[in-house]
């Protein structure tokens, strides 16, 4: 039986909560009920248990401070040499299993911003790129072509006019071509939103012919396909450029996706039912804590804050 990736992710999330030192008796009962829901749930939990147990057997190097894993069995001296290779293996597994998706992209991009950081860059051709938080991209300027590849995040592009050198932007399934204009590209690792504020761009996906998108228009790419052109909702889509976060009846999962660009905590949903709870409000872009306070005060959710993690369940 192959374990579903979403079940394995949920099993990891339960493991984090149960070993956080802040789990209640109700949390332990809920985790047990989740595990007993089906053989697939049990298998996912077992895989995560085995990884956690592996970490408990790894001998830490003498020069390193002990890991803060108080609930694990103490390392045994006789395993020191035996576990030298699994130590590296376990580290790689942890990177693959526990880091936020796409966290490694910033390690090799030409430029990457931290959560909460907004940065402007002027290219040699005079084009100006303004990056929102948690954004990573590359660019290439050659004799007859200018290119930007967005790996993740959001960027406002003011493209210098040069008819002899078209400007191309790739972001996941989105392909955009211009010669000089201003537009915003928002890529969350799966879907893309293009918002044009000046001029006109040619937009396409892998299977479609280029389509003109003009000023005050926007278009989405979902499931790798470009959707119909719509009027631009600049107040919401471009709110970050005014230092704001604007939500209009948006699902909690979308709200936290936006918050990850302004705060570094990884968000984990322990209860899928809270993902679709709706949020409406206007907040300061640089004050994500105000959003969290509003969520706690107005929605039936419980937030558990851990170093680098925020766990959500139904309250």
Instruction: Tell me what pLDDT residue 7 has.
Output: 75
CATH no., domain 106-232? 2.60.120.1440
- DSSP codes of every residue in the chain: -PPPHHHHHHHHHHHHHHTTT---HHHHHHHHHHHTT-HHHHHHHHHHHHHHHHHHHPPPPTTSPPPS-TTSPPP-GGGTTTTHHHHHHHHHHHHHHHSPTTGGGGGTSSEEPPTT--EEEE-TTS-EEEE-SS-EEEEEE-SS-EEEEEEEEEEEEEPPP-TTS-EEEEETTEEEEESS-EEEEEE-SS-EEEEEEESEEEEE-TTS--EEEETTEEEEEETTEEPPPEE--HHHHTGGGGTEEEEEEEEHHHHHHHHTTT---EEEES-GGGGG-EEEEEEETT-HHHHHHHHHHHSSEEEEEETTEEEEEE-
Please list the residue range(s) of the chain that carry CATH number 2.60.120.1440: 106-232
pTM: 0.69
CATH no., domain 243-314? 3.55.50.30
Please list the residue range(s) of the chain that carry CATH number 3.55.50.30: 243-314
Instruction: Tell me what pLDDT residue 5 has.
Output: 53
Instruction: Tell me what pLDDT residue 279 has.
Output: 94
- pLDDT values of the chain reduced to their tens digit, one per residue, 315 residues: 444 556 777 787 787 778 766 677 777 888 888 889 888 889 888 887 876 665 554 433 333 344 343 443 344 433 333 333 344 444 444 444 444 444 545 556 889 998 889 999 999 999 999 999 999 999 999 988 999 999 999 999 999 999 999 999 999 999 999 988 999 999 988 899 999 999 999 999 999 899 999 999 999 999 999 999 999 999 999 999 999 999 999 999 999 988 888 887 778 888 888 999 999 999 999 899 999 999 999 999 998 887 677 888 887
Instruction: Tell me what pLDDT residue 47 has.
Output: 80
Instruction: Tell me what pLDDT residue 68 has.
Output: 41
Instruction: Tell me what pLDDT residue 229 has.
Output: 96
pLDDT tens digits for 286-296? 899 999 999 99
């Amino acid at each position: 039986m192959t374990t579903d990736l979403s079940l394995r992710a949920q099993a990891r999330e339960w493991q984090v909560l149960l070993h956080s030192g802040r789990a209640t008796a109700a949390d332990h009962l809920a985790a047990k009920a989740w595990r007993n829901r089906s053989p697939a749930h049990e298998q996912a939990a077992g895989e995560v248990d085995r990884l956690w147990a592996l970490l408990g057997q790894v001998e830490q190097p003498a020069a390193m401070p002990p890991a803060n894993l108080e609930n694990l069995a103490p390392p045994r001296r006789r395993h020191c040499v035996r576990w030298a290779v699994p130590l590296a293996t376990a580290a790689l597994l942890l990177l693959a299993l526990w880091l936020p998706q796409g966290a490694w992209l910033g390690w090799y991009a030409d430029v990457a911003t931290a959560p909460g950081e907004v940065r402007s860059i002027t290219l040699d051709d005079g084009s100006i790129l303004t990056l929102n938080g948690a954004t990573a991209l590359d660019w290439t300027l050659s004799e007859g072509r200018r290119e930007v590849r967005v790996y993740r995040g959001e960027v406002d592009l003011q493209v210098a006019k040069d008819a002899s050198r078209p400007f191309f932007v790739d972001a996941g399934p989105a392909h955009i071509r211009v010669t000089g204009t201003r537009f915003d590209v928002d890529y969350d690792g799966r879907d893309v939103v293009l918002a044009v504020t000046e001029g006109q761009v040619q937009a396409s996906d892998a299977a479609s012919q280029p389509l003109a998108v003009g000023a005050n228009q926007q278009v989405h790419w979902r499931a790798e396909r470009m959707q119909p052109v719509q009027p631009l909702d600049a107040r919401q889509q471009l709110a970050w450029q005014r230092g704001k976060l604007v939500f209009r009846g948006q699902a909690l999962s979308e709200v936290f996706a936006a918050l990850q660009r302004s705060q570094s905590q990884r968000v984990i949903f322990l209860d899928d039912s809270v993902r679709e709870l709706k949020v409406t409000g206007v907040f300061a872009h640089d004050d994500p804590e105000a959003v969290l306070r509003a969520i706690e005060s107005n929605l039936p959710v419980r937030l558990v804050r851990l170093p680098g993690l925020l766990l959500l369940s139904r309250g």
